Amino acid sequence: MKILIVEKDKTIGESLSYFISHRKNCEVFVACGKKEGDSLFKKIPFDLVLCGDHFPDGEGIEMLKEWISQNPKIFSILMTVKNDEELRQEALKAGIRGYLVKPFNLNQLEELLNLDRF
């Protein structure tokens, strides 16, 4: 399984990568923004994407919508500081399958990453 984490905070991205790769048998890639995420997404067939909501070069939800249109089977999770029901509904309607409000605990992430469903 291949997982992409797109997170502007490099420390958080690396911490999530460490957590996931030590719990699951998968390859984890980390990007710090839209441009880097797009580049990796074009080269590697990811099974799952964890994505922040705001980057200097674009919005996470828009990036995920684009990627889902290219690969409807991808499992995507939006990570955001906005505990906003409208944003959550927009994400779900777009095909984004998970919504985590920062700061979240690793149990919440692990629950969403129950990789048996992939």
pLDDT tens string 45-75:
999 999 999 999 999 999 999 999 999 999 9
Range 81-103 average pLDDT:
93
Asked if residue 104 lies in contact with residue 84, where contact means CB atoms within 8 angstroms, the answer is no
Indicate whether 116 pLDDT > 50: no
Identify the band that residue 111 occupies on the pLDDT scale cut at 50, 70 and 90: confident
Centroid of chain to Cα 38: 13
Indicate whether 118 pLDDT > 80: no
What is the number of H-type helices and E-type strands within the chain? 5, 7
pLDDT at 117: 52
Domains in the chain, CATH or no CATH each: 2-117 (3.40.50.2300)
Measured CA to CA, the distance from residue 20 to residue 3 in angstroms comes to: 9
Q: What is the pTM of this model?
A: 0.92
